[in-house]
Structure 1
Amino acid sequence: MTTAISTDGRRPTTWAGYAASLWAFLFAAPHIYWALGGRAGLTFSLAPRGPTEKALIRDPVFTATGLWGVGVLCLIAALAALASVRPWGRLIPRGVLLSAIWGACAVSVLRAFLLPGFVRSTLYVTGAVALPEDMDPAWPRWDLMLFAPWFLIGGVLFGAAAWFYQRRSSSMAVAASRRH
């Protein structure tokens, strides 16, 4: 059996923290753009159409939670994932980092499968559940092809980042206790 050896001093397990951080930064960017008033691509990402869509876009609660809230939470998740692989991350308590990274994993996987995700979108596409009247009929297919897989990828990346960080930080704590 061979073992991967990093030539730049990093452990091979750090890729997940960097990848999860990149995923979250990429997801935060359009939400912050939309929160600042940009509209390109916003209606594509929303399921409702017609008057419901227009009302949603103008709704200050949607802007505060669905745009600013999501954008800020993604930035926090990105920084947590990055902190799990950078030296400055040691300043953050291990439990705080693990909670943030595992939390991002859970939210992403939940969205991928249930909100509406693979399960509900499949039910819509197959006709097992009727589409809401204001939902674009093409949206469940887009969710199955683009949005749900995107969230599943994020969930896997954050899960891997948390798992690798948990193993690394646990190993470092054991090694430190042996030195004392």
Structure 2
Amino acid sequence: MSQRNHSFADFPRISAWPVYAGCAWALLYAVLIRFYQAAGGTIGLPGTIHDPDAFRQASYNAGVAITVCAFILLALANPGRRALFPRIPWIGRRRVQRFALLAPTLFFSCILLAHGVAGMLRNVLFLTGSISIDLPLFDTVNLRLFSLWDLLVYELWFLIMGVLSGLAAAHYAQSSGVSPSAIRVGALLYSLVSLLASALLLYAVLA
């Protein structure tokens, strides 16, 4: 039993699956949601957009940003690499520092989790009739249908993406030699900050 528990605790260190799963999950959302809507797709938009051109541009920008982040996430798969882009002059010769990858990954993982948790709770409260919501993005909209889509697609993606990127950071930390005690303390602080961020974001949304 103790050997099994030890193996489970070390799983992120001996496997890079969260890195590749996170990259695939991000690309899936970028292509099937953001780039699709940027091209004029209307699935998931149960209403009339107030400014379609601005919305399509925003969707395209979001898709590009998510795609870039997806490939940057792959850097966490191999902590032994001395450089991210070894063939690029100047930049490629610089050694990758652990903090330079871990800090932004954990920060955005926290934001993703908070977004997902707060958004899902808001939609549940709306669907149960506890609160009302306003969507200035639309001129006309089926609020209930949009809330269901937001709950089951958008916010679910944020939640899963936050979990995967957090696990990817744990894999990188363990594989790059961060001490187990530091990882435990970091995981505790990360969990507390994520919960606090979720509560603050939910409060801001409901206020």
Task: Give me the TM-score of the superposition, normalised by structure 1.
Answer: 0.71
Structure 1, unaligned runs of 5 or more: 5-10, 173-180
Write out aligned runs for 1:16-165 (5 A): 16-30=18-32, 31-35=34-38, 38-40=39-41, 43-46=42-45, 49-50=47-48, 53=49, 55-59=50-54, 62-64=55-57, 66-86=58-78, 90-91=82-83, 92-114=96-118, 117-132=119-134, 134-136=140-142, 137-165=144-172
Q: Deviations over 1:17-55 (max 9, x none)?
A: 1111111111222323443xx223xx33346x23xx1x3
> Contact 2:79/2:175 (CA < 8 Å) preserved in 1?
no
On the 8 A contact 1:109/1:155 being kept in 2, the answer is yes
* Native 8 Å contact 1:20 1:81 kept in 2: yes
Counterpart residue number, 1:14:
16
Identity within the alignment, %: 28
Deviation at 1:82, TM superposition (A): 0.6
Structure 1 segment 160-179 matched on structure 2, within 5 A: 160-171=167-178
Per the alignment, do residues 113 and 171 of structure 1 end up closer, same or farther by CA in structure 2, a change over 3 Å counting? closer
SS where residue 98 of structure 1 aligns? helix
Distance in 1 between the 2:28 and 2:155 partners?
A: 16
Work out whether residues 121 and 144 of structure 1, in 8 Å CA contact, stay in contact via their aligned partners in 2.
Answer: yes
Inter-CA distance 118–44: structure 2 relative to 1 (3 Å threshold): same
Coordinate RMSD, CA, aligned: 2.6
Go from structure 1 to structure 2 and tell me whether the alpha carbon gap of 1:113 and 1:87 turns closer, same or farther (over 3 Å shift): closer
TM-score (norm 2): 0.62
The structural deviation recorded for 1:76 is 2.5
CA deviation vs aligned residue, 1:82-127 (integer Å, no higher than 9, x gap): 111137854133222213322331232122122xx21110121011
